[in-house]
Amino acid sequence: MPLWRYTDTLEWEVNMDKVNIKINGIPLEVPAGITILEAAKMAHIDIPTLCFLKEINEIGACRICVVEVKGARSLVASCVYPVSDGMEIRTDSPKILASRKKTLELILSDHDRKCLSCVRSGHCELQKLCKDLGIDDETIYAGERNHYEPDDSSPHMVRDNNKCILCRRCSAVCDHVQGIGVIGANERGFKTNIGCAFDMDLGETSCVSCGQCIAVCPTGALYEKDYTNEVFAAINDPDKYVIVQTAPAVRAALGEAFGLPIGTNVQGKMVAALRRLGFDKVFDTDFAADLTIMEEAHELIDRLQSGGTLPLITSCSPGWIKFCEHYYPDLLDNLSSCKSPQQMFGAVTKTYYAKKMGLDPKNIVMVSVMPCTAKKFEITRDHQNAAGVPDVDIAITTRELARMIERVGINFLALPDEEFDDPLGRSTGAAVIFGATGGVMEAALRTAVETLTGEELPDPVFSEVRGTAGIKTATYNVAGMDINVAVASGLGNARKLLDEIKEGNSPYHFIEIMACPGGCVNGGGQPQQPASVRNSVDIRALRAKALYDQDTAMKIRKSHENPAVRQLYEEFLEAPGSHVAHEILHTSYVKRAVNPY
Amino acid sequence: MYRSHVLVCGGSGCTSAGAPKILEVLNKEIAKAGIKNEVSVVETGCHGLCDYGPIVVVYPGPTFYSKVRPEDIPEIVNEHLVNGQVVSRLVHNAEITDEGIKSINETDFYKKQYRIALRNCGIINPENIEEYIATGGYEALGRVLTQYTPEQVIQIIIDSELRGRGGGGFPTGIKWKLARANDADQKYVCCNADEGDPGAFMDRSVLEGDPHVVLEAMTIAGYAIGASQGYIYIRAEYPLAIERLNKAIAQAREYGLLGKDIFGTGFNFDIELRLGAGAFVCGEETALMTSIEGNRGEPRPRPPFPAQKGLFQKPTLLNNVETYANIPQIILNGPEWFSSMGTEKSKGTKVFALGGKIRNTGLVEIPMGTTLREVVEDIGGGIPNNKKFKAAQTGGPSGGCIPASKYDIPIDYDNLVGIGSMMGSGGLIVMDEDNCMVDIAKFFLEFTVDESCGKCTPCRVGTKRLYEILDKITKGNGTMEDLDKLEELCVYIKENALCGLGQSAPNPVLSTLRYFRDEYIAHVKDKKCPAAVCKALLSYVIDPNACRGCTLCARSCPNNAISGKVKEAHVIDQDKCVKCGVCKEKCRFGAILIR
């Protein structure tokens, strides 16, 4: 029973049923039907949890959160057990503390405990629990161990089951949130392990590389493939001209790796750090985001006016693209042919910019910093080599950038704010909001509406497509025509819109789809937040706010008003949708099978 | 019109002992003797006297033949069926007394039994619905649909005080009441036919020998709680039961006793089978339901309980096969009839699968309250080879042992729980002085470790570590601290595991620790196994007084561990001995002893 809900007549209805319970002797009046975990929070008690991930993984499996309920036959998992009137609960008796400790000791007995070399050391949820629960002998239940070969078959990540604690958060997010389910429990009992069906390697399956599994993993069992050494090598190679571009969502989250509150915009410090790391030029992916809007708005208007395939669906999320290729290959014609901003940026750098600067594209190393793990897959795609060399050479995640900064000893928090380099560091408010779900839609609308009506927008804000809801829809009357738009984030939500298209029932002209729930700010490559934070704080909304605030503060808020973009068209691309633009900035897609079938 | 019926037991034990061949030869010989139109041959369900199979019962009489071989058939046909002469050498020996042959129902094995769930097993042809109807089948359903309201039906079951026969012992009527109380657009009735306890074949016998009783009972339950769809979740390892159920369902539908408009009353209820795939844990209520939904068979936290949110999140009733097998008789004979049997809190009868060190292994159905001594000595025929009763294990891997000191305990749900065991689904394994209780605990734990689903930490890792400690003890490497660790871990797993499998996994260990602690201590302190079972703690030694020096053992030893001169006493080198036992087998003078 939820605490509150929106009724059919659009009124707020609060659950007025209350029950009286006692927690650790403290009497409490709480809403009926909530869990003991939630009730305890109201008494300022944070019962430790491990497998619990609100609304995604509520299975009571790990048994860390057990509590005593008077009259119950055994201890109960507080994360799923509902309160009832008169219930008496103890959360801290010696028996409970001893039980939780034993549970942890048993987990540790089959865990690769090499913390010192683990990428999660220092921010691992298992480590923290060991400290909180007072583990004093991690070998007390030593016995048989499972030994697994790490799976590094896919371009974006490694799965190391030796560090897996079988919380099932990864398979829950892949199954229930993303609607894919390539990973799940194999075998049973002590031999249970998370893997793909028929023991396939992850790279052989229809995993889309979204990295949501990594985002919710509490330990070092899942992690992105690390390319920091390759980036350092490029920077230190005197023959290479190393250029870095940063996605909008990175600046909204990088600060978390250095202890700053969630939602702090650290653009200035990020640029300063990148410069000190030794990149030859520090550019902004946002520039290419504006470029993407130019091309995509043109594409949309073209399809609207000449009966092209509708709805048009955005194509900047490589996790979404791979998902479409595997699961909805018949809808590939709906996709925009535009490359993603990351890829457009690389293409422009190695053609236009290289020529301008007299550089040989073969000597340019294009590095992107992304909130995304699928970008590591995207750079391996075909038809992403405008200059005959890969548009982007190395894609690293926000997490890898944070590690690089720490490794060389840059005091991030003390850095001054610096500006991106020109010209490919110039962008608009429309570009920076790409990182939030609905941002691409809003940016495209700003340009498309002004182009279609020929008039300036009184207010560039399209609030209907903002917010963290999984699916958002709106209708805008533009130049006498009703344009229906939809925005989906999280692939499970995307399925709903796509099934409509498949059945011929879709009322939309333009759809934005992002693989990650909430958009790129919640990408698989962002700094990880533990379940304790995810369960109580909307990190997507907080990080997105940083981007929307930056948009509000910027002078230029529409992509077509970006002077650097204008210059690019004048000097090189001619016009949106031109032959040159198609050569450089557009790509193609491929049908993929669903594995395992 | 047949003048004689020959019933051949087709139960699991008799089938593996050769019943199919018996049937084949019987039919051939009867045809040869030209009496095909006078004598009917029927394959029935389990008679329960499994140690004495194959069983052939001839009516009129009846004459109860046991341990029948195909080569005995011509004699039975020609002497008994043609000439009317009973073949006394084949008559079950327990029937033979000084005063002549007594009825099979007077033998100790059957005298104390009262067959309700097994009523039709061994009597009817389970593949013929008309025989089920002839013994009163579907009459209860007819009465329920035309004369009782759902609430009245539920009250009858409540008044009978029937408790769940799957092991939990939850009052069945209350379960039905709770399922009825929750409203929904769709409700379900499920039958737990997963029967996973090793050695248990009670449900199997009912399903193979009398499948219609389950269908009828489920339909009655559907009417009572307001469900229109039933599922029987049956383990794939019971192909004959699956075949019989499918036939029964088809026949019931044909006769208008299942499906739409049953008995023309407008009540709809249909049943489908769902097969398991080799997981003991799918016998757990919520794991069973999630398995039917197509998911990995892992239990779910409760609450919510299945009566509120079960199969497909709808109110669902789940009962065991044996529980259902009692329902029609309770409806027909009335709840007082049922509650007049048994003890104060455990009414009616219970089917047990007797196994282990006992003469009459097989299936028995006894009134609650029968003492363990009666079961073992009277019904079971006692322990063979003059051995002494040591303990009886009830409840399989979830249960505990009943020691000799509790030999006179009346068997019922609460008494068994009170001494640290449980009724379970009905497995009852008898042990004598040659069984090692530590080894028994290890045996059951090995099963549990293998069957753990792996979802929760206490069961997935805890039972494994528990097993490793037991293994260590049986190999002579245990310490007294290990015993404390063992007990601590047992209590922890019981209190923290997510489902019944984990919560009851430590029971065999705790129970044997409670009553046979001295055996554990012998393994730990003295490094000895008193029952001479744990191999690592045994030594093979040659008695120098009995040894003739024939050198046969030395020549047979695969490891050259035995040395000695011809005609002189030989010696086994303990370091080389791998305890294979070949020497003891070969020795003609009984000079090799196990210590």
Chain B nearest-CA distance from A229, in A, is 38
CB within 8 Å: B456 and A63 = yes
Chain B nearest-CA distance from A161, in A, is 15
How many CB atoms are located within 10 Å of the residue B334 CB? Answer: 14
A-contacting residues of B 283-342, CB under 8 Å? 296, 298, 300-301, 303
User: Is A501's Cβ below 8 Å from some Cβ in B?
Assistant: no
State pLDDT tens for residues A527-538. 999 999 999 999
Q: For chain B, what is the mean pLDDT?
A: 95
Q: What are B136's two structure tokens? A: 């009163």
Residue B217: CB partners within 8 Å, gap ≥ 6? B324, B325, B326, B327, B328
CA–centroid distance for A502 within its chain: 26
DSSP state of A420: P
Give chain B positions within 8 Å (CB) of A191.
Answer: 454
CB within 8 Å: A77 and B498 = yes
CB within 8 Å: B496 and A74 = yes
As a whole number, mean pLDDT of residues B367-393 equals 95
Instruction: Kindly report whether the peptide bond that precedes residue B367 is cis, defined as omega within 30 degrees of 0.
Output: no
Cα separation, B22 vs B131, whole angstroms: 22
Q: What are A396's two structure tokens? A: 């690293």
Q: What is the ipTM of this complex?
A: 0.93
State pLDDT tens for residues B417-428. 999 899 999 999
Taking alpha carbons only, the member of A402, A392, A478, A488 closest to residue A440 is: A488
Q: What is the arrangement of strands in the sheet containing A312-313, beginning at the earlier edge strand?
A: A312-313, A510-514, A481-489, A471-478
CA atoms in the 13 A half-sphere facing the CB of A151? 18
With a cut of 50, which residues of chain A have pLDDT below it?
1
Q: What are B389's two structure tokens? A: 């009763």
**What are residue B40's DSSP bridge partners?**
B5
- Given A82, A106, A191, which is nearest B303 (Cβ)? A82
**Which run of H or of E encompasses A446?**
helix A439-453
B-contacting residues of A 131-190, CB under 8 Å? 141, 143-144, 166, 168, 184-185, 187-190
Q: What are B549's two structure tokens? A: 């020096």
- The one-letter code for the residue type at A365 is V
User: What are the φ/ψ torsions at residue B200 (nearest 5 degrees)?
Assistant: -90, 135
- The one-letter code for the residue type at A277 is L
What is the pLDDT at residue B1?
84
Evaluate whether A234 touches A394 at the Cβ level (below 8 Å): yes
Taking alpha carbons only, the member of A294, A440, A267 closest to residue A369 is: A267
Chain B nearest-CA distance from A390, in A, is 43
- Given B449, B453, B496, which is nearest A99 (Cβ)? B496
- Where helices occur in A34-93 by DSSP H, the ranges are 36-42
Cα separation, A386 vs A388, whole angstroms: 6
CB within 8 Å: A188 and B452 = yes
What is the pLDDT at residue A8?
57
Residue B315: CB partners within 8 Å, gap ≥ 6? B179, B182, B183, B184, B187, B188, B225, B306, B307, B308, B309
What is the pLDDT at residue B105?
85
Whether the pLDDT of residue B109 is over 60: the answer is yes
Taking alpha carbons only, the member of B107, B468, B296 closest to residue A195 is: B296
Chain B nearest-CA distance from A154, in A, is 26
Evaluate whether A223 touches A158 at the Cβ level (below 8 Å): yes
Evaluate whether A184 touches A68 at the Cβ level (below 8 Å): no
Question: Pairing between strand A312-313 and A510-514?
Answer: parallel
Q: Among A64, A190, A193, pick the best mutation site for testing chain B contact (most B Cβ within 10 A).
A: A190
What is the pLDDT at residue A1?
46
Is the model's pTM score more than 0.90?
Answer: yes
State pLDDT tens for residues B51-62. 898 999 999 988
Cα separation, A165 vs B85, whole angstroms: 72
Cα separation, A225 vs A240, whole angstroms: 23
User: Is A1's Cβ below 8 Å from some Cβ in B?
Assistant: no
Q: What is the arrangement of strands in the sheet containing B4-9, beginning at the earlier edge strand?
A: B39-44, B4-9, B56-59, B63-65
For every residue of A376-407, DSSP letters joined together read HHHTTSSS--TTSS-S-SEEEEHHHHHHHHHH
CB within 8 Å: B460 and A77 = no
- Given A74, A110, A188, which is nearest B495 (Cβ)? A74
Cα separation, B50 vs B13, whole angstroms: 5
DSSP state of B569: -
Greatest distance between any 2 Cα atoms in chain A: 80
